[in-house]
Amino acid sequence: MKNIIFYFTGTGNSLYTAKKISEKTGNPDIIKITSSAEQKIADVEADILGFVFPVYAFGPPASVERFIKKITIIKANYSFIAVTHGGGPADALLYTEKLFNEKNHRISCWFEIKMPSNYIIASDVAPEEKIIETCKLADSQIGQMTDMIISREKGPVPGSRFGGKLKTNIVHPLFVKNVQGFDKKFYFQEKCTGCGICARICPVDNIKMTYGKKPEWQHKCEQCLACINWCPEEAIQYGKGTLKRHRYHHSGVKVSELMN
């Protein structure tokens, strides 16, 4: 059986992680979780099966949750979950474990990797030297994680704390319920060149280019923030808060790798 890694990414943290795992685990199929992939998924069978995705509002991205729920049968000799996060995962791993339990599949091992935050609609990105430091530490974590995957080590889901449980069980469902309408605050400035990168990298096809070659959001957003962070002209804004904030995407990922 082949090895498979499913991943969801906006600014590249999770794709970078998936690529680094792939380099040492026999170059498995790396499959991006997109709206079109959601429609095609059915049975999944693999020797090593991995899911790599970021933590959004203390849980998995809504697209990842839908993707997992649509899988009918999961067969794998070894499976793992790796989540990237910019602050703390809260109970995201336990929340995801329940999704797989409903499929009668038990994940073999769980990992979390701290990465630079891309959530610039809430706060500015970290200084460059801090980003470099965080990425170096992440590389070390990814290396240790990959060694465990190769050795097929098993491990329990990280323990739960009251604060994490509260955030994941209350904040995350509200986020998922309302996330698709959050794009109402996105807009483009006059310096937009109409290059269409934002539309081509959106994992859920939430951006369409108008006849005037300008982006138009379709209200099925995931808040991955790929559009705002990868815009080469920094022409996309979210309200007034992002006007003076820096952009972030992982230096180990090229925009061409995210094209749908």
Mean of all residue pLDDT scores within the chain: 94
Mean pLDDT value across residues 95-108: 94
Mean pLDDT value across residues 68-81: 94
3-class DSSP assignment, residue 225: coil
Mean pLDDT value across residues 11-20: 97
Say yes or no to pLDDT of 252 above 80. Answer: yes
Helix (H) or strand (E) holding 20: helix 13-24
Summarize pLDDT for 124-139 with one digit per residue, the tens.
Answer: 999 999 999 999 999 9
**pTM of the predicted structure, to 2 decimals:** 0.95
In order of 56, 73, 113, 142, 144, the CA distances from 139 in angstroms are 21, 33, 9, 5, 9
